[in-house]
Structure 1
Amino acid sequence: MRPRVGQMLASTVDPTAVIVVRCPDEELEITCGGAAMVEGTGPGSAATATADPELMGGSLLGKRYAAEDLGVELLCTKPGPGTLAVNGVALPVKSAKPLPASD
């Protein structure tokens, strides 16, 4: 799949949904729970794929998941038990930027 900024993706194994915040202009395999995500709001509770038990670490509502080396950033709009990954690499939660000290 060639994702684009603003695209909504939904998991096929759980209720997880994300919005693409940043992505390169190339083919990427974006997965949740080991199964490819699909465009749109998705099936939600009517899962159509089988999850990989090794990839069920969960995703959190409102958190950004990013891989700086790939230039990918996803915003979770619906949480679920599946782990978000790109090209087989699990995406970590993006940490907040530290604020400057106010002396």
Structure 2
Amino acid sequence: MAAVLKAGSRFKSAVCDTQVMLVKAPAGEHVLSCGGVEMIAPTATGGGTPAPEFAGGTMIGKRYVNADESLEVLCTKGGAGSLALNGEALQVKQAKQLPSSD
């Protein structure tokens, strides 16, 4: 079920321990999932296991982005499932290179 995502919102996975906070969200309605299952409110209860194709895992403290970086989430608790937006896998955001000082 697609929903409007807002920066500052928190979600948890329904199928693993992953928890995230949205840093930047795209306009419109989207489906944020973990382990192949739509993410749920932090107070809701889930169950099950991540789908094999979405079992890459998440790491605490890492930021994850989609291809055009219109979505950015911060992983606040790692888990076995991997994150996706509308079925497209999210990638770990790469650190920006600092300019050299020579």
TM-score, normalised to structure 1, is 0.89
Distance in 2 (CA, whole Å) between partners of 1:59 and 1:91 is 10
SS at match of 1:39: coil
- Is contact 2:17-2:77 (8 Å) kept? yes
Distance in 1 (CA, whole Å) between partners of 2:71 and 2:65 is 6
Distance in 1 (CA, whole Å) between partners of 2:7 and 2:43 is 16
TM-score, normalised to structure 2, is 0.90
* Aligned sequence identity (%): 44
SS at match of 1:54: helix
SS at match of 1:74: strand
SS at match of 2:53: helix
- Let me know the Cα RMSD of the aligned residues: 1.5
Question: Is 1:84–2:83 an aligned residue pair?
Answer: yes
- Is contact 1:7-1:39 (8 Å) kept? no
SS at match of 2:20: strand
Note the 1:20-31 alignment, pairs <5 A: 20-31=22-33
* Pair 3,49 (structure 1): closer, same or farther in 2 beyond 3 Å: farther
SS at match of 1:85: strand
Distance in 1 (CA, whole Å) between partners of 2:21 and 2:43 is 10
- Is contact 1:61-1:78 (8 Å) kept? yes
Shift of 1:49: 3.9
The number of residue pairs the alignment matches comes to 100
Q: What amino acid does structure 2 have at the position aligned with 1:66?
A: V
Distance in 1 (CA, whole Å) between partners of 2:31 and 2:48 is 15
* 1:9 corresponding residue in structure 2: 11
Where do 5+ consecutive residues of structure 1 fail to align?
Answer: none
* Pair 70,26 (structure 1): closer, same or farther in 2 beyond 3 Å: farther
Where has structure 1 moved over 3 Å in runs of 4 or more?
none
